[in-house]
């Protein structure tokens, strides 16, 4: 019996390592929330045939909150991409533009079993 328990524990540890989602304090599993922070507009004037897509925002502070309580925080990389591990629940994910024009974008998400992917677009301040 002791051998079976030990083998089950090893198998469980392997699953946790391979998936990257380990147990969290409340007994649930962490789920990944990924995304990108963009800033727009990125040109003062958009012309027909000359697209001016939003640009990635490096070093944006991205937080996950429930009500007034912060539950996670990270910073976007040079491509504006971020990754948070959160237990299941409903969150507001907020990104703040670290540049000269302070702007915040947010999105409500429900974290359950599947990974969540979002894009947050902050105001660049270009007019």
pLDDT, tens digit, for every residue of 92-126? 999 999 977 889 999 999 999 999 999 999 999 88
In this prediction, residue 28 has a pLDDT band, given cuts at 50, 70 and 90, of low
Res 4 pLDDT > 70: no
Q: Within 10 A of 109 (CB to CB), how many other CB atoms are there?
A: 19
Res 62 pLDDT > 60: yes
Would residue 111 count as lying in a domain? yes
The range of the structural domain enclosing residue 74 comes to 25-123
* CA–CA separation, 122 and 14 (whole Å): 39
At residue 14, the pLDDT reads 36
Would residue 78 count as lying in a domain? yes
How many structural domains compose the chain?
A: 1
Would residue 7 count as lying in a domain? no
pLDDT, tens digit, for every residue of 11-24? 443 333 333 343 44
Kindly provide the residue ranges of all beta strands, DSSP E only, lying in 6-88, ordered along the sequence. Answer: 31-40, 55-56, 61-66, 69-75, 81-86
CATH number, domain containing residue 79 = 2.60.40.10
Average pLDDT score over the chain: 82
Would residue 37 count as lying in a domain? yes
Would residue 3 count as lying in a domain? no
């Amino acid at each position: 019996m002791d051998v079976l328990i030990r083998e089950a524990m090893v198998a469980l540890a392997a699953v946790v390592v391979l998936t990257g989602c380990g147990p969290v304090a409340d007994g649930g599993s962490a789920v990944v929330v990924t995304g990108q922070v963009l800033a727009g507009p990125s040109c003062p004037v958009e012309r027909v045939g000359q697209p001016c897509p939003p640009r990635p925002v490096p070093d944006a502070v991205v937080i996950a909150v429930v009500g007034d309580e912060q539950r996670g925080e990270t910073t976007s990389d040079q491509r504006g991409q971020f990754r948070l591990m959160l237990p299941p629940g409903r969150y507001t994910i907020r990104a703040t533009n670290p540049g000269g024009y302070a702007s915040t974008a947010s999105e409500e998400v429900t974290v359950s079993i599947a990974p969540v992917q979002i894009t947050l677009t902050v105001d660049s301040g270009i007019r």
